[in-house]
Amino acid sequence: MPDHQMPDALTAAPRAASGATRPRRRGLLVLALLAAAAGAGLWYAVPGLRLPGGRPAAPVVTAPVQPPAITVALAPVRAQVLARPVIGDGSVVPWQELVIGTEIGGLRIIEVAFEEGDSVRRGQVLARLDPAIPAAQAAQAEAAAEEADAALRMAQSELRRSVELARTDNVARQILEQRQSAARQADARLLAAAARRDEAAARLAQTRIEAPADGVVSRRAVLLGAVVQPGQEMFRLIRDGRLELAARVPELDLAAVHPGQAVRVTHGEHAIEGSVRMLAPVIAGDTRLGIVHVTLPPDSGLRPGMFARAEVTPPAAPVLAVPQEAVVFRQGGPIVFVVPPGADRVAQRAVVPGARRDGLVEIASGLAAGERVVIAGAGFLADGDVVRVAPDASGVQAGR
């Protein structure tokens, strides 16, 4: 082999040594640069150290990191009445609807004085029947009574004469007894004639159909000129114009309803204040509903047949309550966030909720009256979060 193709041992050794020292030199250079940077940082950070040129280094102050405050609204825990109302619905009906008919028949109607919706007073004539025949019968009965009265006076006069003659034994005992019997018969005939006279007078009075009580005519079932029959319905009268709501209420809710309780009756957007008059003694077997009779005021504006809703609020003691927005659920349980007076951090509090009504929740335990709870923003909070109370419309912070 030629000599120039053989590696030179003396030349290869220095090259190998030079390749091995290059990475070591680079590492030392990097360490030197890091040390210089650290020294410069220490120079600036340590008080009393001076910069090159004799100037003192400014101290570096590290402030603690504060989380941003969450704006919330607060509400106080207050005592509220949260009694669950009893709800029912039904139709408006008359308090008492009087059915007025005729007691005699075969007579023609000659006058109808009132129409449906008219108000009447007790004793006013609603309609009149033709009185010709009853009047004639009454006159005949009166004449018969007069005749019986005359016969009685005659029999009594003859009896008195017989009694006087009997004292001197100038009349037979049999004749005296006959005249006594005749006087008694005449007296009985007078009584019968007087009864027939009274009956005829009563029939004559029945030709006048009068209102038995004050009220409002709800129905007129006869027309002028019609011939009526005994017992035929002629008018229907809402007694005293009083209306009530026959509200159907579930049987389990009836225990909380008592006469005299206030009731809020609504018909569409119209609301009326009524009161419980009575509870029906029987529960419907097919629907399991009971009827609560609710008295309506005279100016209710409702009419029979209208459908309305009743809300009976039973009396109840006040309970602690908060707006329902304050109660949130964490880990399967209800909690609220309380802001103590003068603090800016919330404290998580477990509560036991109760009844709910009109956007309020009863708090059975876990809170005290007067404490402030978060109502707006509670869903975004955690225990110990810093909060800022939002001002209300007057510029005062809510809940303070």
As a whole number of angstroms, the distance between CA 123 and CA 111 comes to 16
Q: What is the pLDDT of residues 375-398, one digit of tens each?
A: 988 888 888 888 888 876 434 345
One fold for 71-82+317-389 and 104-220: no
* pLDDT score of 60: 53
Q: What is the pLDDT of residues 276-290, one digit of tens each?
A: 999 999 999 999 999
Q: Does the structure show a pLDDT above 80 at 194?
A: yes
- Please spell the DSSP secondary structure of 300-329, one letter per residue: ----TT-EEEEEE------EEEEEGGG-EE
> Per the CATH hierarchy, to which homologous superfamily does domain 104-220 belong?
Helix hairpin bin (1.10.287.470)
Q: What is the pLDDT of residues 350-365, one digit of tens each?
A: 999 987 878 899 998 9
Would you state the structure tokens that stand for residue 135, as one six-digit string? 């009047």
How would you classify residue 268: left for phi > 0, otherwise alpha for psi between -120 and 50, otherwise beta?
A: left
The domain 71-82+317-389 is classified under which CATH number: 3.40.50.300, 3.40.50.2300, 2.40.420.20, 3.90.1150.10?
2.40.420.20
15 pLDDT band (50/70/90 cuts)?
Answer: very low
* pLDDT score of 39: 47
| Three-class DSSP category at 186 | helix
Mean pLDDT for the stretch of residues 367-374: 92
What does the domain layout of the chain look like in residue ranges? 1-62, 71-82+317-389, 104-220
Report the C-alpha dihedral over residues 26, 29, 30, 34, rounded to 10 degrees.
170
Q: Does the structure show a pLDDT above 50 at 23?
A: no
Q: Does the structure show a pLDDT above 50 at 30?
A: no
As a whole number of angstroms, the distance between CA 320 and CA 30 comes to 71
Question: How does DSSP classify residue 75?
Answer: E
| Rounded percentage of the chain residues whose pLDDT exceeds 70 | 80
Q: Does the structure show a pLDDT above 80 at 17?
A: no
